[in-house]
Structures are given as C-alpha cells and as structure tokens.
Structure 1
Amino acid sequence: MTRALENIRVAIPENRYPEQLTTLLEREGATVVSCPLVRETPHEDSEGARRFIELCETGAADYVIFYTGVGVNFLLRAVNKPAALAGPKILARGPKAVAALRRAGVRIDFIADSPTTEGILETLSRQEMKDKSVLVQLYGQENAKLCSTLESWGASVTAISLYRYTYASDDDAIAKLFAEIREGRVDAICFTSAPQIRFLMAAAAEQGVEDEIRSRLSRDVVIVSIGEVTARALSEAGLAAHIIPQDPRMGPMVKALANFFERRRSACSTPSS
C-alpha cells in the first residue's frame, strides 16, 4: 500500500526536534531534507533572568505572560527558583509554554484563548487590568502590540528578553537547501516557527537568491505552517501557507500534509467524465 507521502521530498528547518519531525514524516513515506535554520541562544549574562525572578519574588508583578517553553526553560536554568512564580498569576500562550511550566511544577492560571498575541489579549480582556503590573517574557523580539494594548487598559508593562535567535546552520548548509528548492527537488516545506521564515529569507537575500526562492516556494512547493503566528510571518514575507493544522503541533501538522497529498493523488487518479 502506497503511503501518503511516498516519493515526496519535504524540507524541514526545525532545529529543536528535527529527529522527531523526521520520524513522523518518514512514517508517512516522505524523504526528508533537513536544514535547521534558527537556534534560541540565551543572553551571555543572566541579568534579565535575575531581574525577572526578582520582580516575581518581590510582588512587583501581578501577571506574568510566558510566550515560549524555551523562555521558561532558559529562565529557570539561569535562576532555579520556580517557587518565585507562585505569587503572580501565570498566563501561558500555548502548549509548549504550558508543558514547560508544568514540568517545573509552576501553577498556570490562564492559557491563552489561542496561541497568539491576540489570544493573550482576548484572555486578559476578561480581567480588570487597570493599575496591574504585567511581566512579559519576550521571545527574541519586541512585541509592541501586546505592550501598547495592555498599557491602554491602564496596566504597567515590563518586557524582558531571555534569549535571542541565531542561525543554526552555516552558509554552506543553507546554500544546499536553496539548491534543492531552486532545482525542484523540494515538494513541501514545513515551518514550525515564525523566525524560520525571517531567517530563511534573510539568508536568501544574503546569498543573492531571494527572488528565486520566493518564486519557487510560491509556485512549486507546498508550504506548511504549524500555526497562525507562523502563517502571519509567511504572509509578511510575501508567501502563503497551503496548510495550517487546527492543532498547532508537529503530529497534526504532518497528518494534515499527508491528507493534502492523499487528496491530490486521489484527484489526479479520478478519471474526468
């Protein structure tokens, strides 16, 4: 029996769990082209983490917003005081932050209505935020929308970055990925985070192939986004996701991709009347 992704070559820029994603894809018959693009790198000093914990310990934060599981892990690796998070109300954006907090034994008061900034704001809109202090774990970049909206509600906001994004592969490895795409040897690409798109297109610009890569991805490659935030980053880069699973996890993402190619194969094999 032919598997759904038999003879399909799938590129993955995933860095944290490439083996797991590869296994899921290969079970469906795919050939995987792996090129990790983005690595989360903690800041050289732990001043941000110490300040974060201090604000929680001293009662200076009424709410704490965790965007990412990586942020939770870096925080508690730098300052191993999960008990400091017992005072403020804790909001987790999505499943990875939830999992990291639960592993650390931290109480979670809210999970965002959807794993986006809009979902966080929708959740907090049901709380009285006037004169409340909110501590935000940034994820490698500023978040003006979140901060300005909370401030417009009367809250004071402190946003702290615990890590930055860096390239996970060297120029030669990325050039090989570009060659695969340019020569038509990639049928689909699975993006699992928004920074992957920004780093991919920045590298393409640096190597002088940005227009060709964007054109090839738009015309010839099935683009998979793990969720709405990543889909938005694709749109900002002039690309569009063909597939966005309802459940923003790798397993459902692979299943959605398999279903896509099964439907395509079925449509191609159905004789026209």
Structure 2
Amino acid sequence: MGKGLHGKRVAIGGSRKTEEISTIIEKQGGTPVIRPLQGTVYLAEKQVEPDLRTFVEEKADWVIFTTGIGTETLVDMAEKIGLKDEFLQAIRQAKAACRGYKTLAALKKLGIIPEASDEDGTTRGLIRSLESHDFSGKKVMVQLHGEKAPALMAFFEEKGASVLPILPYQHIPPEEETVERLCRELMNNEIDAVCFTTAIQVRSLFDFAKERGYINEVKAVFEERAIAAAVGKVTAEALREEGITRLLAPEIERMGAMIVELSKYYEEKA
C-alpha cells in the first residue's frame, strides 16, 4: 500500500465510522481531521403523520421513492397509524418511479414495478428517466431522505406538477463552529482534501459558506488546491450541483476505496 497522503491533512465530513476512515488515512501516510458536516438524522414520525394522511386521502398521480430505507419506513409508519392498506392501495393506484437499486428492491417486495427508474443511482438519472412523461397538473408524492433534493423539486415544479414531499427522516444541521472552522482551514490552505460521505454533508458546507459570504473563496479552494472526494455517485452529483468540477469519486462506492483513490491521485501528482 502506498503512502500517497504523506504530509496531507484530510478532513472527514462524516460523523459515522470516523475511526475506521482515520485509520485508512493514516495507513496512507495522511493526517485525518474530523470535521462532521452532518448532524443527527432522526425519525420524524409526528411531522410525517399529517402528510401521510393527506396522501392517503387525496391520492396522487405519481409516487417517487428516493431511498430503500425511506420507502420501508413510510410503510411502517402507515401501519403504526392504521393506514397501511390504504397507503399501499394509494401507491398501487399511482405511477411509481424510484432512484437506486435498494429502492427498486423495496418496491418489488411490495409488488410494485416502477414506470421509471434511474440507470446510475443519481437524482439526475432519475430526472432523465422522467423527462418524457407529462406532469402538467399532476399530483406527485415524493419520498425524501433527510434533505430537500432541490433539483428534483425544481424539475416537477417546472413540469407543472403539484408536489407533496414526505421526509420520514429529518436532518439536524451540524455544529456551526465545526463548519466555520473547516471553512477557515480551507481558506487558509490548511486542508488538502475533504472526504464527503453523503450529499447532506455537501449541502451543509456550501449552504453555510453561502450564508457567511465565503462561498466564492471556498469554491476557489476546491477548484485550485484542495480536492473534494465523494464516496459515490449521489455525493459526487451534489458536489457538481454546487459547481465543483474538480473531484474524485471511486468506482466502488466504499469509504476505503475513496481514500485509496485520493492517495493514488497524490502519488501520480508527485
């Protein structure tokens, strides 16, 4: 195993498995810097119940599922409030679309074959598969997971649909001090790479930078010096949506593969 990260300070944006990622970075010669860009994601049962009831009562022309766990959670929540049969019936009466193979598997378990699904696990891929459909005046229920998926929402609004988003999981923002510190470190050239393990972490950093007026400086750092490393396609897509074009994403969507890819990048550059 090479030591491509020798002398490099690598920020970890995740809050889970930080020890494991730190060890891999150290084995590659780097110094891990833990800067969690993701607060807690919690189950929002009380907030979701009114939306679930609305969906069951009013139905929808289309239902869009973006995560397997979110799909299963909505079914469980519907069961808890005594609406499982009605919820499943409302889904089956609508046209369905999904993002990701886990979501597709969750729908198949329910006996639902989607009309549209992505080819690459990304929101952009899902949007491409929906482009040819007419959403004008249609009601669309969208299951989200912890974040608002602005590109997907904008797509349906532009197509003339009325959207009911349902977020079975809500995201609590990270500590402001942590994000502020990372922004400062980036702008002071104290960080060589940032490892993002979810799209939420990307949004947290760039939304904070926009609010504080640092956005141009932070973007410039990623375009000119520090490397943004994404664990997979969805996270890489979130970076591109923020205007970051200089990034690394491994073929194998694993944290270890992301660090090895980063190490290789610096070895080749040396």
Q: What TM-score comes out, normalization by structure 1 length?
A: 0.68
User: Any idea what SS the aligned residue of 1:174 has?
Assistant: helix
CA distance in 1, matches of 2:30, 2:102: 26
Would the alpha carbon gap of residues 216 and 28 (structure 1) be closer, same or farther in structure 2, given more than 3 Å must change? Answer: same
Tell me which of 189, 195, 201 is aligned to 1:190. Answer: 195
Would the alpha carbon gap of residues 59 and 253 (structure 1) be closer, same or farther in structure 2, given more than 3 Å must change? Answer: farther
User: Any idea what SS the aligned residue of 1:39 has?
Assistant: coil
User: Any idea what SS the aligned residue of 2:39 has?
Assistant: strand
Q: Could you tell me whether the CA contact under 8 Å between 2:122 and 2:237 is conserved in 1? A: no
> Aligned residues: percent identity?
29
Q: Could you tell me whether the CA contact under 8 Å between 2:44 and 2:168 is conserved in 1? A: no
CA distance in 2, matches of 1:96, 1:16: 21
Q: What TM-score comes out, normalization by structure 2 length?
A: 0.68
Would the alpha carbon gap of residues 128 and 146 (structure 1) be closer, same or farther in structure 2, given more than 3 Å must change? Answer: closer
Would the alpha carbon gap of residues 109 and 259 (structure 1) be closer, same or farther in structure 2, given more than 3 Å must change? Answer: farther
Would the alpha carbon gap of residues 118 and 43 (structure 1) be closer, same or farther in structure 2, given more than 3 Å must change? Answer: same
CA distance in 1, matches of 2:16, 2:53: 25
Q: Hey, what does 1:213 align to over in structure 2?
A: 218
Stretches of structure 1 that go unaligned for 5 or more consecutive residues are 266-273
Matched, 1:52 2:52: yes
Q: Hey, what does 1:166 align to over in structure 2?
A: 172
Q: Residues 4-153 of structure 1: matches in 2 within 5 Å? A: 4-39=4-39, 41-42=41-42, 46-49=46-49, 51-52=51-52, 55=55, 60=59, 64-69=63-68, 71-72=70-71, 75=74, 78-80=77-79, 85=88, 88=92, 91-95=97-101, 97=103, 101=106, 106=110, 109-110=113-114, 111-124=117-130, 134-139=140-145, 140-141=147-148, 142=150, 143-148=152-157
Matched, 1:243 2:252: no
Provide the alpha-carbon RMSD of the alignment. 4.2
The aligned length equals: 258
Would the alpha carbon gap of residues 212 and 54 (structure 1) be closer, same or farther in structure 2, given more than 3 Å must change? Answer: closer
Q: Give 1:55 shift.
A: 4.3
Stretches of structure 2 that go unaligned for 5 or more consecutive residues are none
With CA pairs under 8 Å and 6+ residues apart, which has the higher RCO, 1 or 2?
2
Q: Could you tell me whether the CA contact under 8 Å between 2:14 and 2:35 is conserved in 1? A: yes
CA distance in 2, matches of 1:108, 1:256: 38
CA distance in 1, matches of 2:138, 2:167: 20
Q: Could you tell me whether the CA contact under 8 Å between 1:150 and 1:157 is conserved in 2? A: no
